[in-house]
């Protein structure tokens, strides 16, 4: 028996790519590029958008690209196509992070539909959250979201939360002393009208209780934020993986976006706190010694006010030409780390 594969038309895949660009990224650097060819989309890391001071190894860049890969997979599924993916499909091309293939039509599941509906409503929320505890069932769904993407999400207990926040504040101070940090930060923040970076309107106030380490995205702008008391007992989550290779960072990014969208679907506000994972000496302290896990991201979740989105680059800036002779030939067939489905 022969199976007929009906890939989506190019316009549908372009729409899916546009949706993928709504993913979160470190400093809204949007460090990705896409190539659409037939029924597949190749997702690349854009090295010109790598934050070399903050993210020397490129870990957060790959987390950001991973978040875009998950969003792309979700968009394809919610458009009614089965979706397969391979991470780092070409051994000689480390910037080619994922090959996502849309093949035959498949019914859209309620879960995919719900997560896809959350994509335009997910925004980083740097404002105080209400003093309402996040229910256990909601946290269980977030943990399950991470697990489905091969990561582990831990909910900090009160002592763990205080320790993580303390480490985050300490890391924030160390980062400010890192040579080149301020100049790099200035490139991605400030008042200029543009379609990347974090605009001052997306920056929240600083915590008047000096507990939550909100990254000060107005630091280099003319506008300065006021202090406001944040929730005294924030819900803090730590996203971890079982190993710490580039493929794990991409998985962590996919898990991050699945967790964030699952939170958004549950009306939970979210704020990544990455300072403690940006200082290696601090990053190791986030995890119990001997647990065998590697901290990839810290998150704060809760019930917050509505926030606006940040800008995104147009499709024309992130699309690569569809033809590339280098990837023609039998090497295409090779598969390394394989993925799964939404």
Ligand X SMILES: Cc1cc2nc3c(=O)[nH]c(=O)nc-3n(C[C@H](O)[C@H](O)[C@H](O)COP(=O)(O)O)c2cc1C
Q: How many helices (H) and strands (E) does the chain have?
A: 10, 11
Are 257 and 304 in contact by the 8 Å Cβ rule? The answer is no
Tell me the two tokens of residue 13: 């895949």
Rounded CA separation 224/264 (Å): 28
Q: Pick the piece of the chain touching ligand X (CB under 6 A) from 19-27, 87-95, 261-269, 282-290.
A: 19-27
Applying CB under 6 A, does 19 fall inside the site for ligand X? no
How many residues touch ligand X under the rule CB under 6 A: the total is 21
Residue whose C-beta lies closest to ligand X: 24
| Closest separation in Å from C-beta 300 to ligand X | 9
Q: Which stretch binds ligand X (CB under 6 A): 25-33, 103-111, 130-138, 329-337?
A: 25-33
Nearest 5°: phi and psi at 239? -90, 130
For the CB of residue 153, give the shortest distance to ligand X in the complex, in Å: 15
| Burial of residue 157 (number of CB atoms within 10 Å: 0-12, 13-18, 19+) | exposed
Kindly indicate which of the ranges 84-92, 103-111, 134-142, 268-276 contains the residues binding ligand X, using the contact rule CB under 6 A: 268-276
Binding status of residue 123 toward ligand X by CB under 6 A: yes
Using the contact rule CB under 6 A, the part of the chain among 22-30, 150-158, 220-228, 284-292 near ligand X is 22-30
| Residue 11 or 308 with smaller CB distance to ligand X | 308
Report the Cα–Cα distance between both ends of the chain, in Å, rounded: 27
The two three-digit tokens of residue 47, written as one number:
């090295």
**26 belongs to the binding site for ligand X (CB under 6 A):** yes
Q: Tell which positions 80-119 bind ligand X, by CB under 6 A.
A: none
Range 285-308 burial, b when 16+ CB lie within 10 A, else e: bbeeeeeebbbbbbbbbbbbeebe
What residues line the site for ligand X (CB under 6 A)?
24-28, 60, 63-64, 67, 123-124, 126, 198, 215, 271-275, 309-310
């Amino acid at each position: 028996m022969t199976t007929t594969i009906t890939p989506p038309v190019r316009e549908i895949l372009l729409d899916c790519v546009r949706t993928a660009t709504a993913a979160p990224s470190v400093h809204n650097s949007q460090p990705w590029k896409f190539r659409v060819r037939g029924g597949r989309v190749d997702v690349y890391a854009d090295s010109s958008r790598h934050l070399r001071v903050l993210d020397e190894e490129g870990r957060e860049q790959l987390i950001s690209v991973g978040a875009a890969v998950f969003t792309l997979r979700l968009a394809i599924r919610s458009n009614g196509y089965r979706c397969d993916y391979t991470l780092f499909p070409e051994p000689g091309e480390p910037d080619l992070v994922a090959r996502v293939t849309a093949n035959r039509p498949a019914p859209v599941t309620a879960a995919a539909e719900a997560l896809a509906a959350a994509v335009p409503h997910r925004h980083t929320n740097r404002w105080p959250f209400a003093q309402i505890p996040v229910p256990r069932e909601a946290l269980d769904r977030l943990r399950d979201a991470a697990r489905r993407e091969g990561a582990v999400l831990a909910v900090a207990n009160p002592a763990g939360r205080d320790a993580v926040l303390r480490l985050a504040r300490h890391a924030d101070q160390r980062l400010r002393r890192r040579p080149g940090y301020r100049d790099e930060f200035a490139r991605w923040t400030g008042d200029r009208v543009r379609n990347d970076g974090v605009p001052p309107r997306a920056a929240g106030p600083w915590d008047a209780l000096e507990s939550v380490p909100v990254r000060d995205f107005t630091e280099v702008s003319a506008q300065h934020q006021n202090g406001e008391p944040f929730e005294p007992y924030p819900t803090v989550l730590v996203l971890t993986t079982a190993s710490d290779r580039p493929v794990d960072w991409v998985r962590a990014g996919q898990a991050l976006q699945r967790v964030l969208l699952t939170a958004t679907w549950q009306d939970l506000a979210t704020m990544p706190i990455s300072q403690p994972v940006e200082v290696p000496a601090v990053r190791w302290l986030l995890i119990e010694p001997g647990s065998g896990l590697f901290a990839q991201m810290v998150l704060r979740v809760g019930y917050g006010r509505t926030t606006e989105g940040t800008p995104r680059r147009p499709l024309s800036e992130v699309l690569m030409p569809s033809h590339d002779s280098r990837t023609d030939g039998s090497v295409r067939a090779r598969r390394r780390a394989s993925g799964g489905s939404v």
